[in-house]
Amino acid sequence: MEEATIVTRNLTKKYGDFTAVDDLTLEIRRGEVFGLLGPNGAGKSTTILMLMGMTEPTSGSVRVCGLDPVRQPIEVKRRVGYLPEDVGFYDDLSGLDNLIYTARLNGLSEHDARSCALRQMERVGLAEETAKKAGKYSRGMRQRLGLADVLLRNPEVIILDEPTLGIDPSGIRDFLRMIVTLSREEGITVLFSSHHLHQVQQVCDRVGIFVKGRLLAQGDIASLARQLFSGSTSEEGREYGLEDIYHRYFEGGTVNEDHTATK
């Protein structure tokens, strides 16, 4: 097995009597695209906050790139890039100037900041949009610019929290293609949190099914299908997909006390 970049052990987060994340044990390997799939309110965003050191676990442990986000939050943020569903930029500045500003805040000289910003904009397909003000960017372009902003710091891990919300289908395809390229060609670990089945199935090496704060199952599509259906193909010879798995967990079945699903 490849070296694990993200490791949680019995990770739990409670807010009073409410348990947002319940006993989460998970390993995500270096260079892997891992999909955290579940409905809104499942606990995905709370998990991300703990990984980033932005909220402290109630119990359990978490390591990101070998670091403890509770005790070493600054070091973790240097190695992890985070792209939320809505990226904030200075709308009256150009896309390029927004990136230069970020690069300067990270200690680069004016010359190096401009060079790095231009390189990242080309990398995400915005080379022709450097002079346009960020306020004039489409939703998809803003997410690309957000990815460029993340890449300025050469992260080992990228965490994406519903990154394609509001993007048109063509923009989604391009964005997902970039994510796969970053993982395959550069060995960046990607945690992709989403409730969109088709997108997760397109890009993720493995998937974790997350509901009501618990990770009910994890694995690639074939192994999840075997766990749920006693095989990876239906009686008609059709391979089960993520939609079948999702339907069994969230819509068409019930979850047992041992957190397996039944019809």
Give the least confident one: 41-50, 93-102, 160-169, 232-241.
232-241
263 and 238 in one domain? Answer: yes
- Give the CATH number of the domain where residue 88 resides: 3.40.50.300
Confidence of residue 226 (pLDDT cuts 50, 70, 90): confident
Q: Which residues pair with 160 in a beta bridge?
A: 83, 192
Which range (5-14, 171-180, 248-257) has the least confidence? 248-257
pLDDT at 258: 43
User: Of 188, 204, 219, which one is at a domain's C-terminal end?
Assistant: 219
Residue 106 sits in which domain range? Answer: 4-219
Predicted confidence (pLDDT) per residue in 19-38, tens digit: 999 999 999 999 999 999 98
Which residues partner with 141 through β-bridges? none
Same domain (yes/no): 199, 245: no
Per-residue pLDDT at 255 exceeds 50: no
Residue 254: predicted pLDDT: 43
CA dist 65 and 76 (Å) reads: 8
Same domain, 126 and 249: no
- Residue 2's nearest CA partner among 147, 210, 183, 180 is 183
Give dist(CA 3, CA 122) in Å, integer: 31
Give the span between the Cα atoms of 93 and 216, in whole angstroms.
44
Are residue 90 and residue 174 in the same domain, yes or no?
A: yes
Q: How distant, in Å, are the alpha carbons of 57, 63, 160, 182, 188 from that of 102?
A: 29, 26, 19, 21, 21
148 and 244 co-located in one domain: no
One domain for residues 83 and 17: yes
pTM higher than 0.95 for the full model?
no
In tens, the pLDDT along 101-160 reads: 999 998 999 999 999 999 999 999 999 999 999 999 999 999 999 999 999 989 999 999
Rounded to whole angstroms, the Cα distance separating 193 from 209 reads: 11
Is 214 in the same domain as 228? no
Whether residue 136 is found in the same domain as residue 232: no
Q: Tell whether 213 and 230 lie within a shared domain.
A: no
Record the tokens describing residue 33, joined without a space. Answer: 């695209």
Instruction: State whether the Cα torsion 84-42-192-190 is positive or negative.
Output: positive
**3-state per-residue secondary structure call for 146-173:** HHHHHHCCCCCEEEEECCCCCCCHHHHH
